[in-house]
Amino acid sequence: MSLVLKGVIPPVPTIFNAQAQFDPEGMGRLIDRILASDVNGFLFLGSAGEFASLPHESRKTIAEFCVKRVAGKKPVIIGTASCSTQEVIDLSKHAGSIGADAVMVVNPFYAKLSDERIYQHYRQIAENSPLPVLLYNFPILTGQDLSVEVVARLAKDCPNIVGIKDTVDCMSHIRRLVFEVKGARPDFMVFSGFDEYMLDTLMIGGDGVIPATSNFAPDVTCGIYKAFLEKDFATAQALLTRLALLSRMYAIDAPFTGCIKEAIRLSGLDISTAVLAPATPPDAATLEKLEAILKAGGVLK
């Protein structure tokens, strides 16, 4: 399948009201604001979208709303991950039926699987998904890395697997994906999941970044991407410093979803910052740290 994704694709948080119900008004405001920026697409129902805390039917309802709100103005990726291969297939078929452009699937995150079983999980998904599939590697959360060897095998055997979001705190893993997997299959897309590896990934031939900071500071990540394309590395360096300061946000709370929503609110958008249990909102001390980070990164004065 022909799909080209590139640049900056925010993993958009899902907005809920105080009763832990999906808030379409707040979600719509957030989507509209991001649409008005220079981002290159959207990812809904990824880690920041709290997919793992949502029931099956709610995931479909939220996906339908988001695709309809974006209305084809930019590409939309829907996170369809589950520990159940069959549930991933069902959610991926649904994403295809509502007009999404691709799905993203993190590997199962409870039972540790052999590489062969991981391969078969993704192969079944690829053979049954009507949409292109992006792999999602986040070993600090899943407990298991998608090895370069498995990714290379999937890229070779499954034309419908078109890329990967690699959320690893190690550039050598991304480098190997670019050189060994993309090198063998040039249309295979490699995105950094960690904001700070954005420019490094682009410089060695990767395709972009899927950074949560672009939900509230798209001028930074989109500015870096523009500077890269224009070979304006002085601008890129200045913006990278801001991005490094903002990226400290990820270390002040776990999970970090509440901080992303609070950063969006603090940056001027009226949204509910409620999160789904078992997560709870950031406490006062964490919010104080977040405000300091946003000030250091130039989001707040």
pLDDT band at 132 (very low <50, low <70, confident <90, very high): very high
Taking the C-alpha atoms of residue 269 and residue 262, their distance in angstroms, rounded to an integer, is: 10
Give the pLDDT confidence of 8-30 residue by residue, as tens digits: 999 999 999 999 999 999 999 99
Taking the C-alpha atoms of residue 155 and residue 225, their distance in angstroms, rounded to an integer, is: 26
Tokens of 61: 């309802």
Q: How many CA atoms lie within 13 A of 253 on its CB side?
A: 24
Instruction: Please identify every residue annotated as catalytic.
Output: 47, 110, 136, 165
User: What's this model's pTM, rounded to 2 decimal places?
Assistant: 0.97
According to DSSP H, which parts of the chain are helical?
24-35, 56-70, 85-97, 115-128, 139-142, 148-157, 171-176, 198-203, 218-229, 233-246, 257-266, 284-296
Count of domains forming the chain: 1
pLDDT band at 1 (very low <50, low <70, confident <90, very high): low
Taking the C-alpha atoms of residue 251 and residue 221, their distance in angstroms, rounded to an integer, is: 19
Task: Look at residue 263 and tell me if it is in a domain.
Answer: no
Give the pLDDT confidence of 233-287 residue by residue, as tens digits: 999 999 999 999 999 999 999 999 999 999 999 999 999 999 999 999 999 999 9
Task: Look at residue 231 and tell me if it is in a domain.
Answer: no
Task: Look at residue 290 and tell me if it is in a domain.
Answer: no
Report helix, strand or coil for 17: coil
Mean pLDDT of the chain: 97
- Which CATH number belongs to the domain containing residue 161 in this structure? 3.20.20.70
Report helix, strand or coil for 76: strand
Task: Look at residue 257 and tell me if it is in a domain.
Answer: no
Domain assignment of residue 27, given as a range: 7-218
Task: Look at residue 37 and tell me if it is in a domain.
Answer: yes
Task: Look at residue 33 and tell me if it is in a domain.
Answer: yes
Task: Look at residue 42 and tell me if it is in a domain.
Answer: yes
